[in-house]
Amino acid sequence: MLKTLDLALKVLMMFTREKPVWGGRELANELGMNHTNIYRILETLEKNRFISKDKTTKKYSLGYATWELGMIMYESLNVNSLIRPILERLRDETGESIFLTVLDRDEAVTLEVVEPENKVKFSVSAGSRAPLYVGASYRTILAYLPDEMTESIIRNGLVKYTNTTMTDPDELRAELRKIREEGWGKSQGEYTADVIAIAVPLFDGGDIVGSVTVSGPIYRMTDEKIQEYLPLLRVTRDEIGEIIRRYQLNLRV
């Protein structure tokens, strides 16, 4: 492994949706790295347009080169042309927000969001990521991963995002067993308050690669609606799975 390259990539990964702007010393302290080394890395990344520096604040944010690479990757997945129309149909059938989520190591990333017009929209957007134990979209993926990953996540600590986030290890293990038995997962207010989400797992060649989710406010997502939406979710999931196989799409981030 090239140590300098590894450090540079670690620096880039610090620029997240939750923390998109960093000062040089702040970043060095957070990573526990030498300030001089951090500034050399930042200078190189800035020169190559992977990050940009605000002339006034002297703080750094992601540059256009990262955006360009992200768009190339996104377009290579053919999500917009092949999969989005399927998600849009599910949105029209349910009148609720639809999410396509994909696995990325020990987290998951929201790859595509399709929301209804003239209704309350949620804060989750394409590119959002969260731990695999938080909410139906993510936990439905975790349920089909090896038990060692679940135990590793538990050892790293389960953080409460809302009062109802599932942070009890035994409760989490039981919920994962239930998802495997029933083939779908549900969450209520675990990541966003007053929101219910139901999700089904998405597979590629027998391997779990993501999930498809219907999400809406509690007052609309009644038990009757959930039972109505589940078959539609499964049809959507199967159609996306067929697209993945037919066009050999790689949704593994």
Query: What is the CATH superfamily name and number for domain 77-247?
Result: GAF domain (3.30.450.40)
Is 127's pLDDT higher than 90?
no
Tokens 């080169």 found at:
65
Mean pLDDT, rounded, for 217-234: 96
pLDDT digits (tens, 9 = 90+) for 74-103: 777 677 788 999 999 999 999 999 999 999
Rounded mean pLDDT of 206-222?
A: 94
H/E element, 46:
helix 35-47
* pTM recorded for the entire structure: 0.73
pLDDT above 60 (res 191): yes
Strand 60-62 to 97-104 pairing: unpaired
Tell me the C-alpha distance between 217 and 248, whole Å: 35
The β-bridge relationship of strands 51-53 and 60-62 is antiparallel
Average of per-residue pLDDT across 157-178: 93
Sign of the four-CA dihedral 48, 51, 250, 3: positive
Among 107-116, 117-126, 135-144, name the most confident range. 135-144
User: CA-to-CA distance for 247 and 253, rounded, in angstroms?
Assistant: 17
Predicted pLDDT of residue 123: 56
CB count within 10 Å of CB 13 equals 8
Determine the pLDDT at residue 210: 96
Q: What percent of the chain has pLDDT over 70?
A: 94
The ranges assigned to domains in the chain are 3-68, 77-247
User: What value does the mean pLDDT of the chain take?
Assistant: 89
Strand ranges in 50-127 using DSSP code E only, listed in sequence order: 51-53, 60-62, 97-104, 107-114
Quote the pLDDT of residue 173.
97
Which class is 3-68 in CATH? Answer: mainly alpha
Domains 3-68 and 77-247 share a fold: no
Q: Residue 17: which pLDDT band, with cuts at 50, 70 and 90?
A: confident
Amino acid at position 166, single letter = M
The pLDDT tens digits for 41-72 are 999 999 998 999 988 999 999 988 888 887 77
- Secondary element (H or E) of residue 168: none
